């Protein structure tokens, strides 16, 4: 049940976030970055894979500067419908604050994304309006402990001059 944790954390009678279900977009490879002003401002970076949005919280915001490493903490899978969500999460609810879509588009894995996620190195290209080009997510640690979340670095890769 890939969305179990997502649902467990939220009261859908109180938040307007989608309950959602496994679903596939036309391309099957959408991405979205949401600007989330909660207790701490951050970006939520989400890649569609296997009917859900694989998700990372990026506390210092996504950087477009090649080589700059940004911590990306992997969080629970979100439903595909979450990629369209904007608005206010009420006080007292998980992630209370405001959510705006910073960018969206499609992503293209450079290699098998399942193997990449498993191995802790996912290389891909983004085709968004603001975010374009080559990126990599590198897992640096499990976080340790039962409730800890896997930590990754999100890095813009330089591309050879054309």
Helix/strand/coil percentages in the chain, nearest 5: 10, 45, 45
* Stretch of 23-31, 41-49, 82-90, 106-114 contacting Mn ion, by CB under 5 A: 41-49
Nearer to Mn ion, 29 or 36 (CB): 36
- Range 27-62 burial, b when 16+ CB lie within 10 A, else e: eebbbbbbbbeeeeebbbbbbbbebbbbbbbbeeeb
Binding mask 73-92 vs Mn ion (x if CB under 5 A, - otherwise)?
--------------------
Tokens standing for residue 33: 């970055």
> Closest Cα partner for 72 from 84, 59, 83, 81?
59
Q: How far apart are CA 12 and CA 6, in angstroms?
A: 11
Of 29, 36, 70, 139, which lies in the binding site for Mn ion, with binding defined by CB under 5 A?
A: 36
* Stretch of 2-10, 35-43, 48-56, 142-150 contacting Mn ion, by CB under 5 A: 35-43
DSSP state of 85: -
44: contact with Mn ion by CB under 5 A: yes
Q: Which residue has the closest beta carbon to Mn ion?
A: 36
Nearer to Mn ion, 10 or 157 (CB): 10
Q: From residue 104, how far is each of 41, 70, 132 by CA, in Å? A: 19, 19, 10
**Least gap, CB of 136 to Mn ion (angstroms):** 22
Nearer to Mn ion, 17 or 44 (CB): 44
Nearer to Mn ion, 35 or 125 (CB): 35
**Least gap, CB of 36 to Mn ion (angstroms):** 4
3-state secondary structure of 119: helix
Residues that bind Mn ion (CB under 5 A): 36, 44
């Amino acid at each position: 049940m890939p969305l179990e944790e997502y649902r467990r954390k939220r009261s859908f009678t109180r938040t307007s976030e989608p309950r959602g279900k496994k679903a596939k977009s036309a391309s099957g490879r959408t991405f979205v970055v949401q600007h989330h002003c909660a207790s701490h401002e951050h970006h939520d970076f989400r890649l569609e894979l296997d009917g859900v949005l694989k998700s990372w919280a990026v506390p210092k915001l996504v950087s477009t500067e090649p080589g700059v490493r940004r911590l990306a903490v992997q969080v629970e899978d979100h439903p595909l419908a979450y990629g369209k969500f904007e608005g206010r999460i009420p006080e007292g609810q998980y992630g209370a604050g405001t959510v705006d879509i910073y960018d969206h588009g499609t992503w293209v894995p450079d290699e098998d994304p399942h193997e990449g996620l498993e191995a802790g190195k996912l290389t891909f290209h983004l085709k968004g309006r603001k975010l374009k080009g080559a990126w990599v997510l590198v897992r640096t640690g499990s976080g340790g402990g039962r409730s800890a979340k896997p930590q990754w670095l999100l890095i813009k890769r330089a591309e050879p001059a054309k």
